[in-house]
Chain A
């Protein structure tokens, strides 16, 4: 015991900046050591008793720092890495973990002070020090690595960063959240972005998707310069970004930073739907401001935009900023251009003309700037996607920029991009609908329940126009005259991505429906079948009015189908339009020829839907459809009320 204490003291002396010339004095010091140590003796037992009497292990903040959550058999930490716990049962026992932590703090400091529990767990130390006066009882100690990194990051304030969803990337469909740690700089590009994400070296996309959803991957925090994240999300992945400024003060940021430090190289099992990025970040805010209870308030499944709402409800958000993606910027410039300007920009990009050509076209300064800016942004994008080799890119980029540098306008060549509705100000991500209608003269009442997230008819404000993402959507119908209640539909997933094409960006639109639905069989009865319906094609128009045409495959399974299945091919087309601020209209026609399995028949159908927005979280809906299966015509119409929360 004594030797340990001596060793600790010596290390401490050597660790001091001026310690190098001290060894000669150490011997003298050693003579006095026993007396010095006796003056303030503290043992792990004493500290533990003191902590017990204060009931520290029952305090909520201790549970926040250790990520304890109630489970069906007592408390359990969401952190799965054993390295995070000093007690063997630390994952389930806050009291044992607290005692072990105090014991760890008393351990002698080895050759590597950074790995000492006091340096590994600075947030725990800081909080326990406030209650137990550890600084007064333990020898002083420095943590070189912690001090160095903190000096580089300089945490002063924070922002919640929300990259929205993008077309054609299913993984981005709910958006994402990360935290920007701002230093003392004015430029946001110099912030550090803290991201929670799963780690893998998996190269097989199939295994990758399964494991991602079911928690086989380990989630870690990582920090990158914000500008690197912007290149990924804003430029490459075409995602508009929202920045939410938070009112965390410097002291709170210090608390957050200490807790982030504790999570260095610590993993938790990553679950795509619940223990995901959005949920894990909430612990950081609770750690930063002890009065917050964000983790407790979160829903069991957390969609990133709900994190934003939660922060807003708790008064954390003070300001917002919108950062349009490169794709949005390109589309905006294109929308301001005349046909002549577009033609020349296309010629520059095809290398049919050199940048100097802007001077010959008789363009005004603003017209020249638009042509060049469009070419510059698009060429950058092509290079990012590796469509252009580097030497060619460099030469062409430089010659475009050189031409651009001759143009210095007083006024901007394009008006500022209008700021869309904030994602958190759109309709809630859950929806319930009550409808009444008639199916072939048979009246019915219908209840629809949808836990996530948005469909083509829902108001676009805050969402991506032309996108639909629905999970686990349930439709139940009651026919009062038949005294019958039926499951009408249960969608596992229904995704539609209608992405309008323009001269400088030509994306593919696609859809995927999969789930159980009620359909007419040959015998004239309606029964459930399982259906998978993927499709792909083109969309034309803009965010407000678009027309689409998709090729589709239809695969159905049911015991009552001949050979138990059916495979058909066909297509769909229609229009989706926003009329004014409140009304949305969808018209759609579908046709499929059933060619395999239960073949020799077809499906044709047309439907119209109208949605009248009453408020952010409510709307009236009218839908009518006429379908023909096996040459048997059916029609139905219904109207009702949507409520979102």
Chain B
């Protein structure tokens, strides 16, 4: 029976091993669409929920404003002094583009809140953005600050 138990452990663990863990730090994917985060185990591997591959302490580089999201992407001078707005936009470009194309969505609402646009102006702002989608995202390679600048212009 002992042999059997040992074999069971080996077999069941082989199952887990199949989806071997591959820890990945954030990829520096540059600017524009598709530079979304690949945190931790982007392959959704077996233990990914309970394990992490980096430890920078609790508050390592991971709070807003000092996010490393703005690394790897040259940002031209921005009219925005709000670090959080820029950091959030860098990390959520794809969601923002999707929400603008649909004229609504949580990512877009969040950006509007950070731009300090009053809630009762959101609908009008979003409609304007939607009809100007192709003026905001022309190549899909625009950096976050370019996108934010274009959005601000549309907001008027």
Contacts and interface: CB of A to CB of B under 8 A. Distances in A.
Contacts of B52: 195, 197-199, 220, 222
B149 interface: no
Given A380-B94, A383-B34, A149 B59 contact: yes
Contacts of A404: 101-102
Interface in B23-49: 23, 29, 32-34, 36-37, 39-40, 42, 44, 46-49
A358 to B, nearest CB: 13
Contacts of B14: 206
Contacts of B92: 189, 227
A186 B59 CA distance: 22
Nearest to B60: A222
A188 B113 CA distance: 11
B148 interface: no
A444 B20 CA distance: 46
A169 B44 CA distance: 8
A26 interface: no
Contact of A225 (B18, B36, B62, B131): B62
Contacts of A220: 52, 55, 58
Interface string A216-240: 0100111111011001110011100
Contacts of B120: none
Interface in B64-91: 64-67, 84, 88, 91
B137 interface: yes
Given A152-B63, A152-B64, A224 B39 contact: yes
Interface stretch (A310-318, A394-402, A431-439, A626-634): A394-402
B98 A223 contact: no
A530 B8 contact: yes
B13 A557 contact: no
Contacts of A190: 64, 84, 88, 110, 113-114
A514 B12 contact: yes
Interface string A330-369: 0000000000000000000000000000000000000000
Contacts of A277: 50
B50 A276 contact: yes
B32 to A, nearest CB: 7
Contacts of B4: 530, 557
Contacts of B37: 228, 231
B155 interface: no
Nearest to B136: A405
Interface stretch (A131-139, A262-270, A518-526): A262-270
Nearest to B49: A176
Contacts of A222: 52, 55-58, 60, 62
A604 B152 CA distance: 70
Interface string A389-432: 01001110110011011001000000000000000000000000
A201 B11 contact: no
Interface string A108-126: 0000000000000000000
Contact of B58 (A210, A260, A405, A559): A260
Interface in A185-219: 185-190, 192, 194-195, 197-206, 208-210, 212, 217
Contact of B16 (A209, A232, A408, A555): A209
Contact of B50 (A176, A186, A383, A398): A176
A532 B46 CA distance: 20
Given A201-B23, A206-B16, A208-B21, A401 B58 contact: no
Contacts of A153: 59, 63
A277 B4 CA distance: 32
A227 B66 CA distance: 15
Interface in A158-186: 163, 169-172, 176, 185-186
B50 A236 contact: no
A492 B130 CA distance: 55
Contact of A264 (B5, B15, B33, B57): B57
A209 B13 contact: yes
A142 interface: no
A189 B37 CA distance: 14
A158 to B, nearest CB: 15
A476 interface: no
A556 B83 CA distance: 62
A231 B39 contact: yes
B100 A221 contact: no
Given A170-B16, A514-B8, A530-B1, A192 B51 contact: no
A261 B139 CA distance: 44
A261 B57 CA distance: 10
A87 B54 CA distance: 29
B146 to A, nearest CB: 15
B33 to A, nearest CB: 5
Interface in B81-138: 84, 88, 91-92, 94, 97-98, 100-103, 106-107, 109-110, 113-114, 119, 127, 130-131, 133-134, 137
A61 interface: no
A493 interface: yes
Contact of A203 (B20, B33, B97): B20
B49 A405 contact: no
A557 B58 contact: no
A112 B14 CA distance: 48
Q: Which of A185, A206, A238 has the most B CB atoms < 10 Å from its CB?
A: A206
Interface in A553-573: 555, 557, 559, 564
A186 B50 CA distance: 29
Interface string A134-157: 000000000000000100110000
7 contacts: A187-B113, A232-B39, A265-B55, A393-B34, A401-B97, A402-B134, A514-B11
Closest 9 pairs between A and B when the two form their complex, measured CB to CB = A405-B133, A205-B17, A557-B4, A205-B20, A401-B101, A187-B110, A209-B16, A405-B101, A398-B140
Interface of A: 149, 152-153, 163, 169-172, 176, 185-190, 192, 194-195, 197-206, 208-210, 212, 217, 220-225, 227-228, 231-233, 236-238, 260-261, 263-265, 270, 272, 276-277, 373, 376, 380, 383-384, 386, 390, 393-395, 397-398, 401-402, 404-405, 408, 492-493, 512, 514, 530, 532, 534, 555, 557, 559, 564
Interface of B: 1, 3-5, 7-8, 11-23, 29, 32-34, 36-37, 39-40, 42, 44, 46-53, 55-60, 62-67, 84, 88, 91-92, 94, 97-98, 100-103, 106-107, 109-110, 113-114, 119, 127, 130-131, 133-134, 137, 139-141
Given A201-B53, A225-B63, 10 more contacts: A171-B48, A187-B109, A205-B18, A212-B50, A231-B37, A236-B42, A265-B57, A383-B34, A390-B34, A404-B101
